[in-house]
Each structure stands twice: as C-alpha cells, then as structure tokens.
C-alpha cells in the first residue's frame, strides 16, 4: 500500500491482513525466541491488554488532565524505589523503554555538570566495554565523549582501569546489572567507592536485571549489591516490560534525590503555545503503558515475582549446565543469571554455523561478537522446551563438526567475516547505506520473503564489498 485507500476497508478484512503479516514473525508463543519478547503466559497477556485498553487514549503529557496516570507513575516509581532499597527521597519517571532510561541519565548528568561549571568543556563518561549500545547512542545524541574501560577475564569491568580513566571532564560512571552480552554484574560496590572518592555520579543500568535480581536475592540467591544501598549509586534504570512482565513500552529511571533529577526536566516559558514542561524525552506519553505497568506490578506482587525468579533461574541453570555439557561449547564467564552468551571451544565448531543450524530447526538465535558467540535470555515459558533445545543444540554442533564447510556458508560466513573485519568504520558506512534503503519509500517492507530477512541482505551487501579483501 503506497497511499491511504480511497475508501476505508472492512474491519474484519484489515484484522485478517494483519494476522497474515504476523505469520512471518518469530514464534515467541512456543518459546522459540531468546530475546525481544518477555512473554509470561496468555492469561497474563490478556490481562495486560485489558489494563492497557482501559487507558488506550489517555496521554500522560498533562498530569493535571489525567490524574490517574500520574498516580500510576508515582506508585510505579515508589514501588521500584522500595525494591531498590531507596529512601523517601528517591524520585523518577516512567519512560518508553530501556533506551530512554539510558539516554536520560546522560542528558541529566551532562546538564548538571554544565550548571556547576561555567567554562565550556567536553563532557566524558566512563563505561564498561560491554555497556549496552543505548549508552553509545546517548553519547552521540548528547555530545558526551564515551570512554571505554576494559573488561577482566570474567567479563566484568576492570575497576582500576575505570579509576585511571577519570579526569576533570568526567561527568558520569556507568555499571551494568547485568551486562547484556554476558549476563554478569559489574562490581558496582567497587564502582560506588570510586564514584564517592571522585564525587562523580554513578548510574546502574539494570534495565535487564532490575525486576529480577531483587527477587533472586529474596529467594536466597547470591546477588552482589547494586542498588541504592550503595551510597555512590545515584540513579538506576530498570525495564518493567522485561522481567517486570508489563506491556511494551514501560521502563523506569530513578534518582537518589531531586538534586539529580531536576536536571532531566525540560521547561520552556516563552513558547507561543503556552508554558511547556516535560519530565522526560517524550511529549505524548501513552497512558496504556503506564496503566499496564501499574497493573502488572500489582497483579504479580512480590510472591509472583519471586516465583517467576525461581522458575527463571532453575531453567537458566538447566540450560547453562546443558550447554556446558555439549562437547565443544561453553557458557561465557560465570553469569549466574538468566541472560548469557555461549561460544565454541572447538576449532572445528564454528559457533555462527551452529546458530544457522538451530535456526533451520525453528529457533530464533541471536549472535554476539567480541568474542563471537550465541546469546539467550530466559523466561519461565522456556521450561517446556529445555530438553528439545539442548537436543537440537547438540545435534547442531555435531552437524557443524562433521561438515566444516557450513562455516563458510550462509549467514555463518557473513557473521564470521563481519566479526573479524578490522575496517569497522567501513562496515558502519555500509550498514548506514542499507538503513537508508530500508527506510526509504520503497524499502519499508522488512522482508522480501520468509527466507530473506533484511539483516541477511545487509550482510550479503557487506560480503560483496569486503569478502574479497
């Protein structure tokens, strides 16, 4: 469809078309995916839809007009702050997702530093090499130089390296709880001490673990402190739409006090449309997401979250033990978490080729690099597929081991080539070109066919350009 239809279509026809389009999407209902969707069960999803629909049209842009949404936001933030052992001074906002919850602290601490320092300077923030890409996006958007601290052998950030990278331009330190690629929690307690010693804010990116780690701890699991119990921690991001099992998009960013958060606010008193104030990046803020987040937290309660955490960690342990038991595979680091990567220890087993074989069996597999590996995030629904997944994985490894040519075929060859290419800027340029094509008027369809996703076309282009170098 290139133009708005001359006449409106029948509702039933439209819905039928939409269902057909969804037939090409990944199958998360049967627990075949390891990312993107945090699906609890159909009953909970139906409940979230009802909660969302109750406030489908409401807009949290104006909390005076929709007092209900402000109540939802206040209570979600209060419950989140209590979960992170914050006192009554902790404040925050609901955001549209983890990316906004990572963007906002960079903006906030940049402007806080500017308010303190009258002379112009280029602000810097020190982050682990494993930090989520949203922080790299934030650095670009807000003109903050990103300084990467190396990881130790266990994939946690090297705190002494962080200490040495701090200078008078440093406005922020970041640690992950856990990191996306490897599922390990950075040494937040040590980072907290460094932050205090240098009087620098420390943000904990708990977008992944925020609504899981506290309940692992309540279940008696060993979780290193990462929250407001550590005096150097000044803010935390945590996604309600991940392990909080709310509807997308709902995340939170909380600050130790208004001393920090006030620099997040935007106010313009001279706009012809009237005095304008906004607490976060978005203007219009969808009420349905606020309502569903509030509803999810009330429906599950601490006991529900604890039971989910118990199931998730039980399934994660089975998967990690099963992966480690497969000849030629190992889980990276020591995540003790539901998010982790695994790679090959056998030169004859190309991990990306293993991923291809698993996708041929109907699994949606994510790839990571530096080091090369496959990646998974576990939800309770994965309990029903542990045995079948591990059986397929073992068969995939044996298929790759017995047929080395699989490493130079399909997406395995492309991922392998891209991961090893030294010309990273050239890769970025080529991907940018492909993004322009994808989002051009003719490129709006993400797939040419069920077997040709746009990401594969991106890699094919890169292969054409770099494969002979």
Query: Tokens 């309502």, residue?
Result: 291
Residue 202 lies in a domain: yes
Encode 83-94 in three state secondary structure. HCCCCCCCEEEE
Whats the size of the chain, residue-wise?
A: 469
**Count of structural domains within the chain:** 2
pLDDT at 426: 60
Nearest to 308 by CA among 179, 166, 211: 211
Token pair for 369:
């690099």
pLDDT at 32: 86
Same domain for 284 and 432, yes or no, is no
pLDDT at 203: 98
pLDDT at 2: 75
Residue 17 lies in a domain: no
pLDDT at 119: 75
Same domain for 293 and 425, yes or no, is no
End-of-domain residue from the set 279, 297, 315: 297
CATH number, position 243: 3.40.640.10
Residue 345 lies in a domain: no
End-of-domain residue from the set 297, 321, 345: 297
Same domain for 281 and 430, yes or no, is no
Residue 241 lies in a domain: yes
Q: Determine the Cα–Cα distance for residues 250 and 82; give it in Å rounded to an integer.
A: 18
Count of CB atoms within 10 A of residue 201's CB? 23
Label residue 330 exposed, middle or buried (CB < 10 Å: 0-12, 13-18, 19+). middle
| Model pTM score | 0.88
Residue 32 lies in a domain: no
Residue 130 lies in a domain: yes
Residue 215 lies in a domain: yes
End-of-domain residue from the set 259, 277, 297: 297
Query: CA angle 396-399-405, nearest 5°?
Result: 120
pLDDT at 447: 45
pLDDT at 130: 96
Domain containing residue 81: 52-297
pLDDT at 450: 41
pLDDT at 449: 42
pLDDT at 217: 97
Task: Profile the chain (469 residues) by mean pLDDT over runs of 10 residues.
Answer: 86 90 81 85 94 92 87 95 96 95 97 88 96 96 97 96 97 97 96 98 97 97 96 98 95 96 91 88 91 97 97 96 96 90 94 93 90 94 95 96 81 59 62 67 51 52 50
**Neighbouring-strand partners of residue 394:** none
Residue 331 lies in a domain: no
């Amino acid at each position: 469809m290139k133009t708005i239809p001359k006449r409106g279509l029948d509702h039933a026809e439209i819905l039928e078309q939409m269902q057909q389009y969804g037939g090409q999407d990944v199958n998360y209902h049967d627990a075949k995916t390891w990312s993107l969707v945090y699906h609890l069960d159909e009953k909970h999803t139906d409940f979230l839809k009802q909660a969302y629909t109750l406030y489908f049209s409401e807009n949290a842009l104006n909390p005076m007009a929709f007092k209900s949404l402000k109540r939802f936001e206040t209570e979600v933030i209060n419950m989140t702050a209590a979960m992170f052992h914050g006192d009554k001074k902790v404040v925050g906002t609901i955001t549209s997702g983890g990316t906004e919850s990572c963007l906002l602290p960079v903006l906030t601490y940049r402007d806080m530093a500017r308010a303190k320092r009258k002379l112009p300077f280029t602000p810097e923030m020190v982050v682990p090499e494993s930090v989520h890409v949203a922080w790299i996006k934030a650095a670009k958007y807000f003109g903050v130089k990103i300084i990467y601290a190396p990881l130790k052998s266990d994939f946690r950030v090297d705190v002494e390296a962080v200490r040495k990278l701090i200078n008078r331009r440093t406005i922020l330190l970041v640690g992950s709880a856990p990191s996306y690629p490897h599922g390990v929690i950075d040494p937040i307690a040590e980072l907290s001490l460094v932050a205090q010693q240098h009087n620098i804010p420390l943000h904990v990116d708990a977008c992944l673990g925020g609504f899981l780690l506290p309940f692992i701890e309540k279940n008696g699991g060993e979780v290193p402190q990462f929250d407001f119990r550590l005096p150097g921690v000044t803010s935390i991001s945590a996604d309600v739409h991940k392990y909080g099992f709310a509807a997308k998009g709902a995340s939170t960013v909380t600050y130790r006090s208004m001393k920090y958060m006030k620099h997040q606010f935007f106010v313009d008193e001279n706009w012809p449309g009237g005095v304008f104030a906004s607490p976060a990046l978005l203007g219009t803020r969808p009420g349905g997401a606020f309502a569903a987040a509030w509803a999810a937290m009330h429906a599950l309660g601490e006991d529900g979250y604890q039971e989910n955490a118990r199931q998730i960690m039980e399934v994660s342990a089975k998967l990690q033990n099963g992966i480690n038991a497969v000849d030629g595979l190992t889980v990276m680091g020591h995540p003790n978490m539901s998010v982790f990567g695994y790679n090959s220890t056998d030169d004859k087993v190309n991990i990306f080729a293993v991923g291809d074989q698993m996708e041929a069996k109907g699994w949606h597999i994510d790839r990571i690099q530096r080091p090369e590996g496959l990646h998974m995030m576990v939800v309770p629904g994965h309990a029903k597929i542990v045995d079948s997944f591990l059986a397929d994985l073992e068969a995939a490894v044996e298929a790759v081991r017995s047929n080395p040519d699989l490493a130079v075929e399909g997406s395995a060859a492309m991922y392998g080539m891209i991961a090893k290419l030294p010309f990273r800027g050239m890769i970025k340029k080529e991907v940018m070109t492909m993004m322009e094509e994808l989002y051009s008027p003719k490129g709006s369809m993400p797939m040419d066919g069920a077997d040709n996703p746009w990401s594969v076309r991106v890699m094919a282009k890169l292969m054409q350009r770099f494969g002979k170098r």
